Structure 1
Amino acid sequence: MTLLLLAIGLGAGVLSGIFGIGGGIVIVPALIYFAKMAPQQAAGTSLAALVLPLGAAVGAFNYYRAGQLQLRDALLIAVGMAVGAFAGSWISTNMDGDVLRKAFAVLMVVMAVKMWVG
């Protein structure tokens, strides 16, 4: 299980570094399907992993050095994410796991179509 979790983190880190995606888009589905976690447990575990910003900070530093980081914007987004994560975690812990899993799948499909169509 330790190697599986390290592999999930490595994959999420690489994709985050390349695409700037949040861990939830990779970590949550991986924890649900490979580590057999409930959706709420996967979301909570993903959020806890993201609380330790070391990986993101190292990746963001490369973007900063290349002049590709808007620090003020990132800080404002972080404040919004903190409030949203609190509200979203309350909603998630009060939802049925199957409904949450399907809602997440719909979100991913909608985002994929939007990215594809442009």
Structure 2
Amino acid sequence: MAINDIVILGLIGLIAGVVSGALGVGGGIVLIPALALFFGMSQHMAQGTSIAILLPPTGILAAITYHKHGNINWQYAFIIMIVFVLGAWIGAKFSVSIPDKMLKKIFAVYLVLIGIKMFFGK
């Protein structure tokens, strides 16, 4: 792997980490588009790589910081975590059967709709 690829990956990771720690997002908003744009990854490869990043405790320092400030509802987090595992498995099974171009369009529509809802919502 070329050094410039390592630097770009490092910058992508840093930006995704900052956005994730600040806003609670990262993979879907930063990593997937960046991997597709800068490295020409397919939508499936970018999503799979983003999911793989979640395997180690990448959010532990952000979670500790939020916890120290009393900004985590651990009961809600635990319930969501349990069901999230099942949902992630179902989503992955579904997603790998969709053609790459269609998956990219679904992803884009999802981001736009969520953005509109957040912008114009209460």
CA distance in 2, matches of 1:104, 1:35: 18
The yes-or-no answer on 1:34 pairing with 2:38 is yes
One-letter amino acid of the counterpart of residue 42, structure 2? A
Deviation at 1:87, TM superposition (A): 0.9
Runs of 4+ in 1 over 6 A off after TM superposition: none
1:24 counterpart residue number:
28
Give the SS at the match of 2:116.
Answer: helix
* Identical pairs, percent: 38
Q: How many residues align?
A: 117
Deviation at 1:22, TM superposition (A): 4.4
Deviation at 1:26, TM superposition (A): 1.4
2:47 counterpart residue number:
43
CA distance in 1, matches of 2:39, 2:87: 26
Q: Cα RMSD over matched residues?
A: 1.0
* Comparing 71-80 and 55-64, the one that deviates more: 71-80
Query: TM-score scaled by structure 1?
Result: 0.94
The yes-or-no answer on 1:78 pairing with 2:81 is yes
Query: TM-score scaled by structure 2?
Result: 0.91
Higher relative contact order (CA 8 A, sep 6+): 1
Aligned match for 1:116, one of 93, 116, 119: 119
Aligned match for 1:91, one of 90, 94, 111: 94
Q: Specify the structure having the higher radius of gyration (Cα).
A: 2
